[in-house]
């Protein structure tokens, strides 16, 4: 079944694709993730990045290429967990 955007606000989150942090600069509020084949994301998407079932950051996507994803780190991120090489899952 497909959930429309209007009804998805009350739908439970879906723990999805794995992405790897390429670099993060909490000071500047930017994170770069390695793009993964088959991951469907759109500029403007707001996502939770999850590691070991704990949310470590909320981000908003600003640029997507075949190789990387650039996002703004939203306030409240666990900056100590935003390390290059960390594998995170996307919570939509």
Average pLDDT in the 61-86 region? Answer: 96
pLDDT attached to residue 16: 85
Question: Which two structure tokens, joined as six digits, stand for 15?
Answer: 């723990």
Query: 23: helix, coil or strand?
Result: strand
- Cβ(61)–Cβ(54) below 8 Å: no
Average pLDDT in the 62-78 region? Answer: 96
pLDDT attached to residue 13: 65
- Which residue ranges form the domains of the chain, and what is each CATH number? 15-91 (2.40.30.20)
Whether the per-residue pLDDT at 1 is higher than 50: the answer is no
Record the pTM. Answer: 0.82
């Amino acid at each position: 079944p497909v959930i429309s955007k209007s009804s998805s606000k009350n739908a439970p989150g879906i723990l999805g694709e794995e992405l790897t942090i390429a670099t993060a600069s909490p000071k500047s509020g930017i994170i770069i993730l390695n793009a993964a084949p088959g991951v469907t994301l759109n500029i403007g998407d707001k996502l939770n990045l999850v590691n070991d079932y704990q949310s470590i950051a909320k981000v908003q996507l600003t640029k997507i290429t075949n190789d990387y994803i650039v996002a703004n780190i939203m306030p409240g991120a666990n900056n100590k967990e935003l390390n290059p090489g960390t594998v995170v899952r996307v919570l939509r």
